Every structure is written in structure tokens, then in C-alpha cells.
Homo-oligomer: A and B are copies of this chain.
Amino acid sequence: MASQFPLETRYWYLRDHQLFRHLNSAELRQICLITNFKTAKKSEIIYFAHDEQNRVYLLKKGIIKIVELDEDGTETVKDVLQKGDLFGQLTLDDTEMEEYAIALSDYVTCCSFLIEDFEEVIRQHPSLAIKFTKLIGMRFRRLENRYSNLMFKDVRTRLLLFLEDWAEKEGTVENNAIMLKNYLTHQDMAGLVCSTRQTVSQLFNEFKQHGLIDYNRSSIIIPDLKRLKSLVN
């Protein structure tokens, strides 16, 4: 795996991340030595928690989904991550996790550290410590937000908020409408907003009938994001 990447490439990959951007080249090369690189193509598994409970991951390129395994074998999409996001043992402890990550975009690259190594890096670069803490903090707030949505909003609203969020993050403008390249099934979205496949399917049709969105398996089009937002109660 690692040998696919010449040192120079690894170096630039690291440097590209906001965590490491401020370090000088000697420091970066040092960190390079303890970094593991990995790639995957669409639909391939790039990370399986059960085998590597002791690594932190950084997504360098592409989009992945994190799928959680229930005790009884049920799989639920827990999160969709993008360039720059952290995953794996991001709390730097020994939490048991049953989850894996699958590439959603054509090419995915990520790097990882043993948590002991990563702690050492933090110890030696306090500024990095603060950046890391703030990244975890952002994740914390995002989860808080999802929790509060689940508590106070109905499924329709949660789904609308999800679309809104997605549109703002990845939407491209195409003749006056917002276009989303869709790499998620209704089942996936159901997991993300805490609902069921059938309900998501029904709501999508309802939204389509009302002209809120247009969609097929490969894309979602939002003609008027403002109108969509206004329906969020």
C-alpha cells in the first residue's frame, strides 16, 4: 500500500491538510514517517474499525460513508465525510466501535496514525493540539445539532434540513438551479436522518410533486433553495 506513494507525494498530501499546514518542511517530513497512506476506488471498503481500533484517520481526497454495524447485524449509515474530515478512533482512546467506511467517489485517499504516535506529535506541536481539539469540537457540535433535530423536528423537516445542508456543501449551480450529484440511496439517507427507506421514498415523491426537487438515481435538482428552506418549520 504505502509503497504506492513516493515520499514526495505523501509530503504534499500531509501539507495540504489544515492540521499540518503551518508546520515547516522538516517537521512535516518527520511526521510523514509515521503516517500510513491508503487508497480505494468507489464501493471499496477503506477502513474497518474492528481491525484497527487504534488508529486515527484523515480523509485526504474523495467522499466516504461511515456505516455502523448493530449487534444484530443491521447496518446504518452514520455519516458522510469529505476531504479534511477525521474518522476512526478520533477520541484517542479505546472505545469499541463496529463500523466501516466505503468510498463513495471514484478515488479516495486517506492517511492514518497510530494513536500513540499521534499523541506524540500533538505533544511536540501544541499548536496542532489546538487545531485538533477544535476539529473534534466541530464534530461535537455537528452531532449536537443532529441530536437536537432528532429531538424536536419531524422526519419531513429533518429531510429538508439534510437536503439544504447537502446543497450548500456540494451543490453546483446549473441553469439557475442547484444540482447535486447523488451517491446515496434512500436507505442511506434514511440512516442519516433517522428514518426508514419507505418514508424517505414517500417524502421524496411528495417533494417532487410539489416541485421542490427533481431527482433520479444519479442526481437531485433543487430549483429554488429558498423555497425549500422556507418549508423548514
Q: A residues within 8 Å of B by Cβ?
A: 68, 70, 76, 90-93, 95, 119, 122-127, 129-130, 132-134, 136-141, 143-144, 146-148, 150-152, 194
Nearest CB to that of A195 among chain B residues?
Answer: B151
7 A–B contact pairs at CB < 8 A? A92-B134, A92-B137, A93-B141, A123-B129, A147-B147, A147-B150, A150-B194
| Bound Cα distance A139, B140 (Å) | 8
Chain B residues whose CB sits within 8 angstroms of the CB of A152 once the complex forms: 70
Decide yes or no: A91 and B123 within 8 Å by CB, A70-B152, A129-B130, A147-B150 being known contacts.
no
Query: Would you call A91 and B141 a contact (CB within 8 A)?
Result: yes
Contacting residue for A143 out of B132, B144, B151, CB 8 A: B144
Chain B residues whose CB sits within 8 angstroms of the CB of A144 once the complex forms: 143
Decide yes or no: A136 and B140 within 8 Å by CB, A126-B122, A130-B119, A130-B129 being known contacts.
yes
Chain B residues whose CB sits within 8 angstroms of the CB of A127 once the complex forms: 123
A66 to chain B minimum Cβ distance, whole angstroms, is 12
